[in-house]
Amino acid sequence: MSATPRPYGVIAEFDTPADVMHAAEKIRDSGFLNWDVFTPFPIHGMDNAMGLKNSKVGWFSFVGGVTGYTLGMVMIWWMNAVDYPIVVGGKPMFSPFGAFPPSYELTILLGSFGAIAGMLFLNRLPRLHHPLLKHGRFRLATHDKFFLVIETTDPKYSETETRKLLESTGSKRIEIVEE
Protein backbone atom coordinates (compact mmCIF):
# COMPACT_ATOMS: atom_id res chain seq x y z
CA MET A 1 0.00 0.00 0.00
CA SER A 2 1.48 3.30 -1.01
CA ALA A 3 0.93 6.18 1.38
CA THR A 4 0.94 8.92 -1.25
CA PRO A 5 -2.13 8.79 -3.51
CA ARG A 6 -1.45 8.68 -7.23
CA PRO A 7 -2.99 11.39 -9.36
CA TYR A 8 -5.98 10.16 -11.36
CA GLY A 9 -6.21 13.08 -13.71
CA VAL A 10 -6.59 16.77 -14.15
CA ILE A 11 -10.04 18.29 -13.89
CA ALA A 12 -11.17 21.58 -15.40
CA GLU A 13 -14.41 23.27 -14.42
CA PHE A 14 -16.68 25.30 -16.73
CA ASP A 15 -19.79 27.38 -16.19
CA THR A 16 -21.75 26.96 -19.40
CA PRO A 17 -22.38 24.13 -21.85
CA ALA A 18 -20.92 26.21 -24.68
CA ASP A 19 -17.61 26.63 -22.83
CA VAL A 20 -17.20 22.95 -22.07
CA MET A 21 -18.16 22.07 -25.63
CA HIS A 22 -15.51 24.34 -27.13
CA ALA A 23 -12.99 22.92 -24.69
CA ALA A 24 -13.96 19.39 -25.70
CA GLU A 25 -13.47 20.23 -29.36
CA LYS A 26 -10.00 21.49 -28.57
CA ILE A 27 -9.05 18.40 -26.57
CA ARG A 28 -10.43 16.16 -29.30
CA ASP A 29 -8.32 17.93 -31.89
CA SER A 30 -5.22 17.60 -29.71
CA GLY A 31 -5.57 13.84 -29.96
CA PHE A 32 -6.19 12.79 -26.36
CA LEU A 33 -7.67 9.35 -25.71
CA ASN A 34 -8.46 8.87 -22.01
CA TRP A 35 -10.53 11.88 -21.25
CA ASP A 36 -14.17 12.66 -20.65
CA VAL A 37 -16.68 15.41 -20.11
CA PHE A 38 -19.04 15.39 -17.12
CA THR A 39 -22.30 17.26 -17.30
CA PRO A 40 -25.58 17.43 -15.31
CA PHE A 41 -27.55 16.57 -18.46
CA PRO A 42 -26.67 15.28 -21.91
CA ILE A 43 -25.56 18.19 -24.09
CA HIS A 44 -26.81 18.14 -27.64
CA GLY A 45 -23.85 17.91 -30.00
CA MET A 46 -21.30 16.87 -27.37
CA ASP A 47 -20.75 13.44 -28.93
CA ASN A 48 -19.61 15.22 -32.04
CA ALA A 49 -17.47 17.63 -30.07
CA MET A 50 -15.78 14.69 -28.34
CA GLY A 51 -15.50 12.68 -31.53
CA LEU A 52 -17.54 9.77 -30.16
CA LYS A 53 -18.99 7.22 -32.52
CA ASN A 54 -22.63 6.17 -32.58
CA SER A 55 -23.47 4.09 -29.53
CA LYS A 56 -23.58 0.31 -29.96
CA VAL A 57 -26.50 -0.24 -27.61
CA GLY A 58 -28.84 -0.86 -30.55
CA TRP A 59 -27.19 -4.16 -31.40
CA PHE A 60 -27.73 -5.57 -27.93
CA SER A 61 -31.38 -4.67 -28.11
CA PHE A 62 -31.75 -6.13 -31.59
CA VAL A 63 -30.30 -9.47 -30.52
CA GLY A 64 -32.59 -9.46 -27.47
CA GLY A 65 -35.66 -8.75 -29.57
CA VAL A 66 -34.95 -11.45 -32.15
CA THR A 67 -34.31 -13.95 -29.36
CA GLY A 68 -37.59 -13.02 -27.69
CA TYR A 69 -39.67 -13.43 -30.82
CA THR A 70 -38.09 -16.74 -31.75
CA LEU A 71 -38.36 -18.02 -28.21
CA GLY A 72 -42.05 -17.11 -28.05
CA MET A 73 -42.97 -18.76 -31.34
CA VAL A 74 -40.97 -21.91 -30.71
CA MET A 75 -42.19 -22.23 -27.14
CA ILE A 76 -45.85 -21.91 -28.08
CA TRP A 77 -45.52 -24.25 -31.02
CA TRP A 78 -43.77 -26.87 -28.93
CA MET A 79 -46.09 -26.60 -25.91
CA ASN A 80 -49.42 -26.42 -27.74
CA ALA A 81 -48.74 -28.39 -30.92
CA VAL A 82 -46.08 -30.93 -29.99
CA ASP A 83 -45.79 -31.71 -26.31
CA TYR A 84 -49.44 -31.61 -25.25
CA PRO A 85 -51.82 -30.74 -28.09
CA ILE A 86 -55.40 -29.93 -27.10
CA VAL A 87 -58.12 -28.84 -29.52
CA VAL A 88 -59.63 -25.54 -28.48
CA GLY A 89 -62.44 -23.78 -30.30
CA GLY A 90 -61.68 -25.63 -33.54
CA LYS A 91 -58.57 -23.54 -33.97
CA PRO A 92 -55.36 -24.97 -35.39
CA MET A 93 -52.94 -26.38 -32.83
CA PHE A 94 -50.45 -23.79 -33.85
CA SER A 95 -51.07 -20.64 -35.82
CA PRO A 96 -48.71 -17.71 -36.19
CA PHE A 97 -51.72 -15.43 -35.52
CA GLY A 98 -52.64 -16.84 -32.14
CA ALA A 99 -49.01 -17.10 -31.12
CA PHE A 100 -48.26 -13.58 -32.23
CA PRO A 101 -49.35 -11.56 -29.17
CA PRO A 102 -47.24 -13.42 -26.58
CA SER A 103 -44.26 -13.62 -28.93
CA TYR A 104 -44.55 -9.92 -29.60
CA GLU A 105 -44.51 -9.18 -25.89
CA LEU A 106 -41.44 -11.37 -25.45
CA THR A 107 -39.75 -9.48 -28.29
CA ILE A 108 -40.22 -6.26 -26.42
CA LEU A 109 -39.29 -7.72 -23.07
CA LEU A 110 -36.01 -9.21 -24.21
CA GLY A 111 -35.31 -6.22 -26.46
CA SER A 112 -35.56 -3.97 -23.41
CA PHE A 113 -33.36 -6.26 -21.38
CA GLY A 114 -30.85 -6.10 -24.22
CA ALA A 115 -30.91 -2.30 -24.32
CA ILE A 116 -30.42 -1.96 -20.58
CA ALA A 117 -27.83 -4.69 -20.25
CA GLY A 118 -25.99 -3.28 -23.26
CA MET A 119 -25.97 0.20 -21.79
CA LEU A 120 -24.70 -1.00 -18.43
CA PHE A 121 -22.08 -3.22 -20.04
CA LEU A 122 -20.77 -0.52 -22.38
CA ASN A 123 -20.65 1.97 -19.50
CA ARG A 124 -19.08 -0.58 -17.16
CA LEU A 125 -21.79 0.11 -14.63
CA PRO A 126 -22.72 -0.41 -11.91
CA ARG A 127 -19.57 0.48 -10.03
CA LEU A 128 -19.37 1.23 -6.37
CA HIS A 129 -16.48 3.61 -6.46
CA HIS A 130 -14.99 6.23 -8.74
CA PRO A 131 -12.00 8.49 -7.96
CA LEU A 132 -13.90 11.54 -9.18
CA LEU A 133 -16.72 11.02 -6.69
CA LYS A 134 -14.29 11.75 -3.87
CA HIS A 135 -13.39 15.13 -5.36
CA GLY A 136 -15.16 17.94 -3.51
CA ARG A 137 -16.14 20.16 -6.43
CA PHE A 138 -17.17 17.23 -8.59
CA ARG A 139 -20.39 16.99 -6.67
CA LEU A 140 -21.53 19.94 -8.79
CA ALA A 141 -21.34 17.81 -11.95
CA THR A 142 -24.85 16.66 -11.13
CA HIS A 143 -25.90 20.18 -10.17
CA ASP A 144 -24.96 23.05 -12.46
CA LYS A 145 -21.27 22.85 -13.38
CA PHE A 146 -19.53 21.23 -16.32
CA PHE A 147 -16.24 19.36 -16.03
CA LEU A 148 -13.58 18.08 -18.37
CA VAL A 149 -11.20 15.43 -17.05
CA ILE A 150 -8.01 14.18 -18.71
CA GLU A 151 -6.66 11.05 -17.09
CA THR A 152 -3.00 10.59 -16.25
CA THR A 153 -3.04 7.31 -18.13
CA ASP A 154 -3.43 9.16 -21.40
CA PRO A 155 -0.31 8.77 -23.53
CA LYS A 156 -0.27 12.51 -24.28
CA TYR A 157 -0.67 13.51 -20.65
CA SER A 158 1.95 15.79 -19.17
CA GLU A 159 1.46 17.60 -15.92
CA THR A 160 2.40 21.05 -17.17
CA GLU A 161 1.44 20.92 -20.85
CA THR A 162 -2.00 19.48 -20.26
CA ARG A 163 -2.69 22.04 -17.60
CA LYS A 164 -1.68 24.80 -19.97
CA LEU A 165 -3.88 23.40 -22.69
CA LEU A 166 -6.84 23.36 -20.33
CA GLU A 167 -6.08 26.90 -19.21
CA SER A 168 -6.19 28.00 -22.83
CA THR A 169 -9.75 26.67 -23.11
CA GLY A 170 -10.87 29.29 -20.61
CA SER A 171 -11.41 27.19 -17.51
CA LYS A 172 -11.07 29.23 -14.32
CA ARG A 173 -10.53 26.27 -12.01
CA ILE A 174 -8.12 23.45 -12.82
CA GLU A 175 -7.16 20.88 -10.22
CA ILE A 176 -5.51 17.49 -9.87
CA VAL A 177 -7.76 14.60 -8.80
CA GLU A 178 -6.23 11.81 -6.78
CA GLU A 179 -6.85 8.12 -7.22
Partner 1 sequence: MSSHGESEKFVPLDLSRWKNLPIVLMVLGGIGALIGLAVDPKQFGYSWLLAFMFAVSLCMGGFFLTLIHHLFDASWSVPIRRINEHLGAMTYQVLPFLFIPIGIYAMAPAIGLHLPSLYPWMNELLTNPAAAGHDHALQAKQPLFTVAGFFGVAAFNFVMWFIFARGLKAWSLKQDETGAAECTLKMRFYASLGIFVFAVTLTLGAIMWMKALMHEWFSTMYPVYYFAGSVWMTLATVYLVAAILKRQNGQLREVLKQKQFYFIGSLIFAFTVFYAYVTFSQYFIIWNANMPEETFWYAVREKGNFWDLGMLLIFGHFFLPFLSLLRIDAKLTLPVMVPLFVWAWIMHFVDLEFNIGPTPHPNGITAGSVALDLACLAFMVGLLALVWLRNFRAHAPYPIRDPRLAEGLDMYVAPSDIATAPGHAK
Partner 2 sequence: MAEQTNLKLAPPPRSLERIPLVQNNRSIGWISDQIAQIAEGKTPMWWWLAFIPSILLATMLFVMLAYLVSTGVGVWGPGHPVMWGWAIINFVWWIGIGHAGTLISAILFLLRQKWRTAVNRAAEAMTIFAVMCAGIFPVVHIGRVWFGYWLFPLPNSNSIWPQFRSPLMWDVFAVSTYFTVSALFWYIGLVPDLAVMRDRAKTKIRKFAYGLFSLGWTGSNRHWSNYEKAYLILAGLSTPLVLSVHSIVSLDFAVSQLPGWHTTIFPPYFVAGAVFSGFGMVLTLLIPLRTICKLEDVITMRHIDLMCKVTLATGSIVGYAYGMEFFIAWYGGNPFERTIFMNRAFGTFWWGYWTMIACNVVFPQLFWIKKFRHNLLLVWILSIFVNIGMWFERFEIVVTSLYRDFIPANWGYFRPTWVDIATYMGTFGLFFTLFLLFLRFLPVIAISEVKGVTPQADPHHPLGGAKGGHH
Which CB, 137 or 156, lies closer to partner 2?
137
Full DSSP string of 113-179: HHHHHHHHHHTT---S--HHHHSTGGGGGGTT-EEEEEETTSTT--HHHHHHHHHHTT-SEEEEEE-
Which CB, 40 or 45, lies closer to partner 1?
45
Told to check if 33 binds partner 2 by CB under 8 A, we report no
80 contact, one of partner 2, partner 1, none, CB 5-8 Å limit per kind? partner 2
Restricting to residues 60-99, name those near partner 1 by CB under 8 A. Answer: 90-91, 97-98
Sign of the torsion formed by the C-alpha atoms of 104, 105, 108 and 111: negative
Restricting to residues 89-148, name those near partner 1 by CB under 8 A. Answer: 90-91, 97-98, 100
Interacting residue ranges for partner 1, rule: CB under 8 A: 45, 48, 90-91, 97-98, 100
